[in-house]
Amino acid sequence: MLRTSCTIAGLLSLGVALPAAADETCLSPYMAKITGHEDYVYVWTLGVDGLGDGSDKLVTIDVREGSPTSGKVIDVDSVGSRNEAHHGGFTDDRRQFWATGLDTSTIFIFDVASDPANPKLVRTIDDFEEKTGGVVGPHGAYALPGRMMIPALSNRDGTGRTAIVEYSNQGEFVATHWMPTAAEAKKIPGGEHADGYGYDVRVLPRKNVMLTSSFAGRENYMRPFGEVAGDPEAMKKFGGSMIIWDFHARTPKKVFQVPGVPLEVRWAWGEDKAHAFTSTALTSQLWLVYEDDGGEWQAKAVADIGDPQKLPVPVDISLSADDKTLFANTFMDGMTRVYDVSDPHAPKQIYEKKIGTQVNMVSQSWDGQRLYYTSSLLANWDKSGADNEQFLKAYSWNGKELAPRFEIDFTGEELGRPHMMAFGAASLYAN
């Protein structure tokens, strides 16, 4: 039953101004956006034993131009425990920030609307495993209208079979959708590649599709990386699949074999676009998932990231709001590489820069002029000794090169290991 809606044509004929469908730039399409200069960067930070209070915390950094505290930490909200702080996300009204803990399966909900410069922990979900039927390792938090979608990494046995979980914005459990295994996915194309692993989830509303990626279970992500890398059996326990879903029905449509741990999913924003990028951590490739001319979804590797032979371990990627520029970080060499992806089928690297001894996350502003980087991957996977730099570094981007703006030493300030970043703006709630 393929059909189109024609009623919107009438709206366009009235000349109603529609805002651009972009973001800053990896958030859910279902929420209000900061189209001007962000005021604050919230950093979900892993606690480090013996450093400060040793607890995970949401760190607020003032990034307002001209502010006397610009480039400084202006607020720290400790949760009083260590949970392997990892990713998070805003609700669709952008009034709450949900932050996840991979180790304890705890979700911390912060109110960022009442005072955007001073978020407050208002609720903790600590029965995630029980309510979800055995899912553990909540990874991200992705806004849907009135609810949150939580992709997880593991299950109560610690293996990589996991699920996507939904909660209402009020923190009430709604549903668990287990990632399919090959045995369960026999009837869909590529079903033999389904491995049950999970990592990221992103939706392209116009096409009613959801795209998921795959990582590893608790038995691997909570184990020191050196041990995992030296254990051939453990190295077999990583995801190598991506799944395109019927979003509305929450049912898988097609499974792609994407070897080497596909991580972050970034859909292009343009209304005429139907493609997404991901990077593979262990095979160092940039992959494109796209709808072909026949309306069929496909996946293929389109570029190497660094030298795959050197195992640079691609981590976070960030696609610009105009879909033309993609930033890709590699953890091991601390590099960021910038690709011209105007032709998504043929990315061209146009720039590279060493950010630090290690680097993980990258977030860019709506206008693509400001980039923020953080260093930590996982508590047991970060480097040690002098190479264990823990920082947030801010840059400006002029289309050709990155120029430093400021940096914050998270170890020196006794904060911990900085991970996920999200932007705040007082004007979102000014009225």
Partner 1 sequence: MARTLVLASALLAAACFAGAASAHDDAYAKPSAPPSGAAAFAFTLPEPGSYRLPPIRAAAGGQVLAEDGSRIDLAALLRGSITVFSFIYTRCADICPDATMRLADLRERARRYPALGDGLRLVSMSFDPSHDTPSVMRDYGALWRTSGDGGAEWRFLTAAGRPQLAPILAAYDQAVAPVDPKDPTGGLDHILRVFLIDRAGQIRNVYSMDFLDPELVLTDILTLAGESAGD
Among 51, 174, 182, 234, binds partner 1 (CB under 8 A): 174
Q: Is 101 exposed, middle or buried (0-12, 13-18, 19+ CB in 10 A)?
A: buried
Q: Which residues contact 237 (CB under 8 A, 6 or more apart)?
A: 159, 160, 216, 217, 219, 220
Among 157, 229, 235, 250, binds partner 1 (CB under 8 A): 250
User: Is 170 a residue that touches partner 1 (CB under 8 A)?
Assistant: yes
**265, HSE (Cβ side, Cα atoms, 13 Å):** 30
| Interface characters, 362-401, with partner 1 (x: CB under 8 A) | ----------------------------------------
Among 67, 114, 251, 342, binds partner 1 (CB under 8 A): 251
Q: Which is nearer to partner 1, 101 or 424 (CB)?
A: 424
Instruction: Give min distance, CB of 2 to partner 1, in A.
Output: 5
Which tokens hold the place of 382? 């970060």
Q: Is 244 exposed, middle or buried (0-12, 13-18, 19+ CB in 10 A)?
A: buried
Looking at residue 181, what DSSP letter applies? B
Instruction: Report the distance separating Cα 166 and Cα 355, nearest Å.
Output: 36
User: Is 146 a residue that touches partner 1 (CB under 8 A)?
Assistant: yes
Nearest to 242 by CA among 291, 206, 193: 193
Question: How many other CB atoms are there within 10 angstroms of residue 231's CB atom?
Answer: 13
Which tokens hold the place of 168? 């209402």
Instruction: Report the distance separating Cα 131 and Cα 249, nearest Å.
Output: 21
User: Is 189 a residue that touches partner 1 (CB under 8 A)?
Assistant: no
CA torsion through residues 76, 82, 86, 91, sign:
negative
Instruction: Report the distance separating Cα 381 and Cα 395, nearest Å.
Output: 25
Instruction: Report the distance separating Cα 392 and Cα 369, nearest Å.
Output: 17
User: Is 273 a residue that touches partner 1 (CB under 8 A)?
Assistant: no
Instruction: Give min distance, CB of 262 to partner 1, in A.
Output: 24
Q: Which is nearer to partner 1, 201 or 379 (CB)?
A: 201
Instruction: Report the distance separating Cα 72 and Cα 64, nearest Å.
Output: 10
User: Is 5 a residue that touches partner 1 (CB under 8 A)?
Assistant: yes
Instruction: Give min distance, CB of 98 to partner 1, in A.
Output: 14
Q: Which is nearer to partner 1, 93 or 322 (CB)?
A: 93
User: Is 123 a residue that touches partner 1 (CB under 8 A)?
Assistant: no
Nearest to 332 by CA among 350, 310, 353: 310
Instruction: Report the distance separating Cα 428 and Cα 431, nearest Å.
Output: 8
- 326-355 residues near partner 1, rule: CB under 8 A: none
Q: Which is nearer to partner 1, 19 or 385 (CB)?
A: 19
Stretch that binds partner 1, among 71-79, 126-134, 199-207, 395-403 (CB under 8 A): 199-207
Q: Site size for partner 1, by CB under 8 A?
A: 61
Q: Which is nearer to partner 1, 359 or 425 (CB)?
A: 425
User: Is 69 a residue that touches partner 1 (CB under 8 A)?
Assistant: no
User: Is 205 a residue that touches partner 1 (CB under 8 A)?
Assistant: yes
Instruction: Report the distance separating Cα 400 and Cα 419, nearest Å.
Output: 26
Q: Which is nearer to partner 1, 209 or 265 (CB)?
A: 209
Instruction: Give min distance, CB of 20 to partner 1, in A.
Output: 7
Among 57, 95, 139, 337, binds partner 1 (CB under 8 A): 95
Q: Which is nearer to partner 1, 36 or 412 (CB)?
A: 36
Nearest to 379 by CA among 358, 362, 394, 363: 358
User: Is 14 a residue that touches partner 1 (CB under 8 A)?
Assistant: yes
Residues that bind partner 1 (CB under 8 A): 1-14, 16-21, 23, 29-36, 92-93, 95, 113, 144-147, 166, 168-170, 172, 174-175, 205-209, 246, 248-251, 271, 425, 427-431
